[in-house]
Chain A
C-alpha cells in the first residue's frame, strides 16, 4: 500500500507500524512517530495498523534553540 512518510510517498507491504518502520529502514531507537497527526507511543507500534494514504511522521533529535 502507498503511505506518505515524512511528506514522501512510499510503498510498504507490512501492515503494522512496527514492521513498516523496519521495512522503511527506520531502525534507530532515537525516533518518535505520529500517524495522521496523532502521536503513537512506541509500545503501540505492534498493534497499530496502517491504511492506504496514511500520513506517517518519523522524527529524530535535532539541534534547537
Chain B
C-alpha cells in the first residue's frame, strides 16, 4: 500500500507505549514486522530519559509516526505537531484532537480544523477520527490523503463496535487508505477489520498488555495478513440452508 507516496508492505502499525520493558518492545516490533511505529512527546526529565528511547527508535529501522495524543485543542495539537516534526525529522503526524477524557473520542470539529492548518503547513496528516462519512470527506478536503477511523475507544480492546460503518467507509472511499486505529483487542478483531477491506490496522494496547506481548505481536501480524488475503480472495456469500459440499452424483444405493 502507499501512504503519502511511500510504499509500505506491512499492514500492521504498532504503538510503542505500555510494554513491560524496552527489550520486550524491541522484540515485539521485530516480531510484528511493523514498518511504522507510533511515538509521542512528553516533558523531558532531568535524567534525559527521552534520548535513550530515541536511540531505541532509530535502531528499530522503522518509519516514525509521532502522535498528538492528549491534545484537547487545535492549538495544542498544532504546536505538538510542529515540535514533533523537528524532533523526529518527519512531516508525518498522527493527529489526535481529543473531545472527551472518558471516551477519548475525537473532537471531529477541532480535528478538521487542525488537519487543515497542518496540511497547509506541509504535514502529512494521519487523522484519528470516527467512522463518520461526512467528517471523512471534510478531512480529505482539508488535505488528508488517508483516514484512521476508530474501531472502539482507545485502549478498550472491545474490537469493532460498528463494523457496518467501516464497511460503509470502504464503499464510500474506495481509493482512500483506511487504517483502523484504536479498539482492537484480539487477533480476530484485526482479521475482521482487514476482511472488511481496511488497508491496515494500528495497534498498541492489545499487544503491549497481552500476557506475552511478543507472541501477540506475531498473532496480530498473522491475523492481519490472513484477513487481508481473505478480503482479496472475495469470500462466498452466506446461505440460509445447507448445500452439500460432497458431490451427490454417483451415490451408491446401499439399502
Residues in chain A within 8 A of chain B (CB atoms): 6-7, 25-34, 37-39, 41-42, 57-65
Contact B87 A32, beta carbon cutoff 8 Å: yes
Given A64-B17, A64-B66, 10 other A-B contacts at CB below 8 A? A27-B48, A37-B75, A39-B83, A59-B44, A60-B44, A60-B45, A62-B50, A64-B40, A64-B67, A65-B17
B residues in contact with A26, CB < 8 Å: 44
| Interface segment out of the listed B51-59, B164-172, B242-250 | B51-59
B residues in contact with A27, CB < 8 Å: 48
Closest B residue to A43 by beta carbon equals B86
Query: How far is the CB of A56 from the nearest CB of chain B, in Å?
Result: 11
Contact A38 B79, beta carbon cutoff 8 Å: yes
Contact A65 B42, beta carbon cutoff 8 Å: no
Given known A-B contacts A28-B44, A30-B54, A63 and B83 have beta carbons under 8 A apart: no
The 7 A-B pairs of least Cβ separation, nearest first, read A60-B50, A64-B40, A65-B15, A65-B204, A32-B83, A39-B82, A60-B44
B residues in contact with A58, CB < 8 Å: 43-44
In the bound complex, what is the Cα–Cα distance between A63 and B57 (angstroms)? Answer: 10
Name B's interface SS: mixed
In the bound complex, what is the Cα–Cα distance between A33 and B83 (angstroms)? Answer: 7
The size class of the interface chain B forms with chain A is: 35 or more
Contact B16 A28, beta carbon cutoff 8 Å: no
In the bound complex, what is the Cα–Cα distance between A41 and B45 (angstroms)? Answer: 20
Closest A residue to B70 by beta carbon equals A64
B residues in contact with A6, CB < 8 Å: 43-44
Q: List 18 A-B contacts (CB under 8 A).
A: A7-B43, A26-B44, A30-B87, A32-B41, A57-B43, A58-B43, A59-B43, A59-B44, A60-B43, A60-B45, A60-B49, A60-B51, A61-B57, A62-B42, A63-B25, A63-B39, A64-B17, A65-B38
**Among A29, A59, A65, contact of B41 (Cβ-Cβ < 8 Å):** A59
Contact B50 A31, beta carbon cutoff 8 Å: yes
B residues in contact with A31, CB < 8 Å: 44, 50, 87
Judged by a CB distance under 8 angstroms, whether B46 is at the interface is yes
Contact A61 B88, beta carbon cutoff 8 Å: yes
